[in-house]
Structures are given as structure tokens and as C-alpha cells.
């Protein structure tokens, strides 16, 4: 990744920008909870109620899913970002994905807190937060790496300011993405077997 660092010394700025965009998505997602109609809130409430009962009975559907189902759900995001890094038009799409990831997390936590107060916050801390402490940085690192590589392509192929072969930057980009995917596989293990057990500790408070 050294060649990319030398070509784009503002990588730190990209990290800050992507992180802020993600946080804006989180805030937006939390505010979306207030825009739900009464019927939508009731539907979500019934769904969560059934989910909590299922968890409390030890039949958590998350635990029953295959490990690869959970892992692939995360790997698809990273794989899509990796592919978008090869195109000029991929830059704005990567930013949209960063924002949407924040919206999903913000909405989930915002709804739990809005409906169940501190109990919902406690549930979010054990069900949403632990694995996302790793997944979110992985997502941000992958996004910045993809954006950096895309900018490299724009500068060296579109603007014709060639600075050597693209092979080394490509290998570095792909290598880092592969490392992030390995991180996802490890975190998916935690999410598959540890998170459901933690959820069962807290769920009785919500029933």
C-alpha cells in the first residue's frame, strides 16, 4: 500500500471524511425513527416482540443460521466496495454505501432506544455493538482503500499522468481487501455463537 500512500498523502482526510459521512448516516437513521407512522411502529413492535420471545425460548433464528450466511452478508458489502474501486463511477456509490451502513445501524439503535428506553439501549449494546466495533472499522478501511485505488486509476489512466505499472497498487489493494475479509470471517464467528448467548441474558428485561 506504500505506493498508494505516496500518491495520495491526503488519505487521512479520506478516513475523516468517510467516518463523518458514516456518523451522519447514523444520526439520519436515528431521526428516521420519528418519521415512522403509527402503523409502521406497531408492525415493528410486533416483529420485535415475537423476536424477543423466540430468543428467550432459546430458539434464536440468528443462531440457527449457518455461519456462512452471516459471513456472506458482510462479505458482500466488502466485495461490492472492492469491485467499485476499479471504476471511476464507483466513487459516489462507495460513499452512498458508507452512508447507508450508518443509516441501518442508527435506525436499529434509535428504534430500540425509542421503544424500550434504557432496556433497548442495553439490548443494542449486546446485540448490535460488539461485532460492529470491528465491522465498522473494516468497512471504513475498505472504503478508503477502494476510493484511493479509484483515484489512482483516475489520475494514471483517465488523466494520463502515468507513474509506473498499476500491478503493485492493484496487488496492495487486493491484499488489504483480502485481509479485511479475513477479519469479517473472524467477527462472524463471534456474531454467530457469542452474540445470541448475550442476547438471551438481556431479552427477559424486554418481555
SS in 3 state form for 4-65? HHHHCCCHHHHHHHHHHHHHHHHHHHHHHHHHCCHHHHHHHHHHHHHHHHHHHCCCCHHHHC
Which residue numbers in the chain have pLDDT < 50? Answer: 1, 3-4, 6-8, 62, 64
| Secondary structure letter of residue 89 according to DSSP | T
Q: What is the DSSP letter of 196?
A: H
C-alpha cell at position 145: 482503500
Q: Give the integer Cα–Cα distance in Å for 113 and 189.
A: 27
Residue 162 pLDDT:
60
Angle between helices 38-56 and 195-202 in degrees, nearest 10: 110
So what's the pLDDT on residue 8?
47
What does the pLDDT read at residue 146?
93
The tens digit of pLDDT for each residue in 175-193 reads 999 999 999 999 999 988 8
The domains of the chain are located at 2-206
Taking 3-state DSSP, the helix, strand and coil percentages for the chain, each rounded to the nearest 5, stand at 85, 0, 15
Contacts of 90 (CB under 8 A, 6+ apart): 83, 84, 146, 150
Q: Is 170 helix (H, G, I), strand (E, B) or coil?
A: helix
Give 59's Cβ-side CA count (13 Å radius).
Answer: 5
Q: Residue 194: CA atoms inside 13 Å, Cβ hemisphere, count?
A: 11
Amino acid at each position: 500500500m506504500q505506493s498508494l500512500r505516496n500518491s495520495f498523502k491526503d488519505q487521512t482526510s479520506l478516513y475523516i471524511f468517510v467516518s463523518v459521512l458514516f456518523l451522519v448516516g447514523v444520526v439520519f437513521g436515528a431521526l428516521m425513527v420519528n418519521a415512522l407512522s403509527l402503523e409502521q411502529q406497531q408492525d415493528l413492535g410486533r416483529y420485535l416482540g415475537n423476536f424477543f420471545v423466540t430468543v428467550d425460548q432459546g430458539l434464536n433464528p440468528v443462531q440457527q443460521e449457518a455461519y456462512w450466511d452471516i459471513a456472506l452478508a458482510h462479505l458482500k458489502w466488502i466485495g461490492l466496495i472492492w469491485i467499485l474501486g476499479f471504476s471511476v463511477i464507483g466513487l459516489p456509490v462507495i460513499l452512498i454505501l458508507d452512508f447507508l451502513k450508518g443509516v441501518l445501524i442508527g435506525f436499529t439503535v434509535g428504534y430500540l432506544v425509542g421503544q424500550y428506553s434504557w432496556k433497548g439501549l442495553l439490548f443494542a449494546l449486546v446485540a448490535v455493538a460488539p461485532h460492529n466495533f470491528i465491522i465498522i472499522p473494516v468497512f471504513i478501511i475498505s472504503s478508503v482503500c477502494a476510493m484511493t485505488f479509484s483515484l489512482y486509476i483516475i489520475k494514471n489512466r483517465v488523466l494520463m499522468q502515468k507513474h509506473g505499472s498499476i500491478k503493485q497498487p492493484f496487488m496492495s489493494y487486493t491484499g488489504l481487501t483480502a485481509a479485511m475479509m479475513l477479519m469479517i470471517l473472524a467477527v462472524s464467528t463471534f456474531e454467530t455463537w457469542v452474540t445470541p448467548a448475550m442476547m438471551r441474558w438481556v431479552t427477559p428485561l424486554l418481555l
